Amino acid sequence: MTRCLAIRATIATLALGLLACAPAQAADTVDPAADKAAFQKFFTGKFPKLKLEDFVNGPYSMNEDLHRQWEEKEQFPPYEFSLEAGKEMFATPFKNGKTYADCFPNKGIGIRQNYPFFDEKEGKVVTLELALNRCREANGEAPFSYVKDDMAALTAYMAFTSRGKPMDIKIPNDPRALEAYQKGKEYFYTRRGQLNFSCATCHIQSPGERIRAEVLAPALGILNAMPIYRSEWSGMGTTSRRFTTCNSQIRGVPLNPQDDEYRNLEYYLSYVSNGLPISGPGARP
Amino acid sequence: MSAAIKAVLAASALLIATATCALAASEADYKAAYAAAEAANKEAGSLRNQWTTTASTLSAAKKAAEAGDFDAAVAKAKEAEALAKASIFQATSEKERWKDMEVR
Per-residue pLDDT reduced to its tens digit, A27-63: 568 999 999 999 999 999 999 999 999 999 998 888 7
Question: Closest-CA residue in chain B for A27?
Answer: B99
pLDDT confidence bin for A92, thresholds 50/70/90 = very high
Q: Quote the CA–CA distance of A238 and A3 in Å, as a whole number.
A: 69
- Taking a C-beta distance cutoff of 8 angstroms, is the pair A201, B102 a contact? no
A264 touches chain B (CB under 8 A): no
Domain ranges of chain B: 25-101
Question: Closest-CA residue in chain B for A43?
Answer: B103
CA A40 to chain centre: 14
Per-residue pLDDT reduced to its tens digit, A251-282: 999 999 999 999 999 999 999 999 999 999 99
Residue A127 has pLDDT above 50, yes or no: yes
SS3 A123: coil
Domain ranges of chain A: 30-285
Q: Report the complex ipTM.
A: 0.85
Interface touch A39/B103, C-beta < 8 Å: yes
Mean pLDDT across A152-161: 98
Nearest Cα of chain A lies from the Cα of B90 at a distance, in angstroms, of 7
In this prediction, residue A64 carries a pLDDT of: 83
- Taking a C-beta distance cutoff of 8 angstroms, is the pair A64, A210 a contact? no
Mean pLDDT across B50-70: 98
- Taking a C-beta distance cutoff of 8 angstroms, is the pair A258, A127 a contact? yes
Question: Closest-CA residue in chain A for B85?
Answer: A194
For residue B100, give Cα distances in angstroms to A28, A207, A213, A240, A277.
12, 19, 29, 27, 30
For residue B3, give Cα distances in angstroms to A139, A219, B8, B13, B78.
93, 80, 9, 15, 44
- CATH class, A30-285 region: mainly alpha
Residue A18 has pLDDT above 80, yes or no: no
Residue A241 has pLDDT above 80, yes or no: yes
- Taking a C-beta distance cutoff of 8 angstroms, is the pair B49, B5 a contact? no
pTM beyond 0.90, yes or no: no
Active site residue A4: no
Round the average pLDDT of chain A to a whole number and report it: 91
Mean pLDDT across A176-203: 98
Which of A149, A171, A162 lies closest to A240 in space, CA to CA? A149
In this prediction, residue B2 carries a pLDDT of: 60
A211 - beta bridge partners?
A214
Nearest Cα of chain B lies from the Cα of A172 at a distance, in angstroms, of 22
Interface touch A252/B50, C-beta < 8 Å: yes
Higher per-residue confidence, A195 vs A212: A195
